[in-house]
Structure 1
């Protein structure tokens, strides 16, 4: 069955919270209030469906966001403009099935129209070579390391240049074409039926 990536719906937040807190030490835990904050304010908050069930989620935001993560601040202190992946979680039974790559393709197709780089981190404690290999195969490179003051965990700080950004800026500037998936920011989806336009996915050659 195909993977469908779409904006999160309000009634799915309990399931998203359970996925996050079952993900293990590679993902910081969340509470309901924190997740609600992301739902109300995150620029990008999407879920993946496979076989009609929730397979994971990704939360991201631009560098001009007022976000209190020390990892986010680390990037912002060193880089002026980027799209930050705060967290990506894939259900354990769906790992290795392409959900993570579908998320990164979708997030990149969104970000490269607006930002020159993608940023994220991978925790180094406990052995996380599969995650580092995954990100490396997707074009991310380590630009430093940081110990999170709020968790005491060391993270590899990763960035990926977005090759289409310069062309988009040179061609369109701040005036992207009139298409709903380009011009409309994410807003919380509070109805059962998803009205979000599907964004195309893809990666740079």
Structure 2
């Protein structure tokens, strides 16, 4: 299996919606219009594929820089904090492919994009309640540190707000 990343295109939307919505509550539910809107404002919208089946997304990551009109409490927290950041709105790996390094591959692309854009940090949030200990451990292994916590969605979700410095992509720690 040879894994590579590529930009999302229109033919990816149906499987990406299924992948995204299958990962709830780690990410929020999206409909097709919301996904299209998110991709259109994204700094990058990338999938990982097996070269043998390049039309079958195995994982996705969508990032945003500051200055977007995006109605996300967590994105706004980072924007109000300020700084030159690349915000990971969502990273999702197909359920049957987790634990095989796809998240690492997607984050290598994220950090490379941040470095090319001259940004100093990559930011994201991970659920504390409902808990997502696997994602917290993964992000910790990649060098993310917690900057704060926030209760969102009318009190139904509590997140850890995380940041990692942008290092050359080749020096990203191994997450495994």
With normalisation by structure 2, the TM-score equals 0.89
Question: Within 5 Å, which residues of 2 pair with 1:26-175?
Answer: 26-50=26-50, 51-52=52-53, 53-114=56-117, 115-149=119-153, 152-164=156-168
Alpha-carbon distance, 1:149 to partner: 3.7
Alpha-carbon distance, 1:111 to partner: 0.5
Structure 1, unpaired ranges of 5+: 165-200
Aligned structure 1 segments of 4 or more residues deviating by more than 6 angstroms:
none
Q: Which residue is equivalent to 1:13?
A: 13
Distance 2:7 2:99 in 1: 22
Which protein shows a greater Rg?
A: 1
Alpha-carbon distance, 1:38 to partner: 1.8
Q: Number of aligned residue pairs: give it.
A: 169
Structure 2, unpaired ranges of 5+: none
Q: After superposition, what is the alpha-carbon deviation per residue over 1:131-186, rounded to whole angstroms, capped at 9, x for unaligned?
A: 1110000010000001114673100000011135xxxxxxxxxxxxxxxxxxxxxx
Larger relative contact order (C-alpha < 8 A, sep ≥ 6)? 1
Distance 2:74 2:96 in 1: 28
Distance 1:131 1:116 in 2: 22
> Counting strand residues as a fraction of each chain, which structure ranks higher?
2
Contact 2:41 2:64 in 1 (8 A): no
Alpha-carbon distance, 1:28 to partner: 0.7
Contact 2:41 2:68 in 1 (8 A): no
Q: After superposition, what is the alpha-carbon deviation per residue over 1:59-117, rounded to whole angstroms, capped at 9, x for unaligned?
A: 00111222211101111111322100000110000000110000000110111222111
Matched position secondary structure for 2:35? helix
Please provide the CA RMSD for this pair.
Answer: 1.7
